[in-house]
């Protein structure tokens, strides 16, 4: 997927790709898993902050799908994403 790379506003630096197609689990506020999604991991070479961007519009699986638990095992998502709360 081609997309513009994010900018680190602290360092005024375009972020560099680290790894494409990393997977993460989105979590409800209470911590329950909702979806497995994939995106691209980028980082700022100056301050080291890392961000997942280029997130696919469709989830790999959602908790109400019959294959959700299988997907959790097979993809073994590397990251988690809690919803923002304020
Ligand atoms: Zn930075």
Distance 7 CA to ligand 1 centre (A): 8
Annotate 69-79 with b (16+ C-beta within 10 A) or e (fewer).
eebbeebebee
Pairing of strands 13-14, 7-8: antiparallel
Distance 45 CA to ligand 1 centre (A): 7
**Domain ranges for the chain:** 7-82
Distance 9 CA to ligand 1 centre (A): 7
What was the pLDDT predicted at 50? 98
Distance 42 CA to ligand 1 centre (A): 11
What was the pLDDT predicted at 2? 55
What was the pLDDT predicted at 1? 46
The low-confidence residues of the chain, meaning pLDDT below 50, are 1
**Cβ neighbours around 64 below 10 Å, total:** 8
């Amino acid at each position: 997927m081609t997309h513009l790379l994010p900018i680190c506003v602290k360092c005024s630096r375009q972020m560099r790709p680290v790894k494409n197609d990393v997977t993460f689990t989105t979590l409800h506020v209470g911590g329950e898993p909702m979806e497995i999604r994939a995106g691209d991991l980028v980082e700022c070479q100056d301050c080291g902050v890392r961000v997942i961007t280029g997130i696919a519009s469709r989830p790999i699986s959602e908790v109400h799908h019959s294959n959700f638990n299988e997907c959790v095992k097979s993809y073994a998502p590397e990251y988690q994403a809690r919803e923002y709360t304020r």
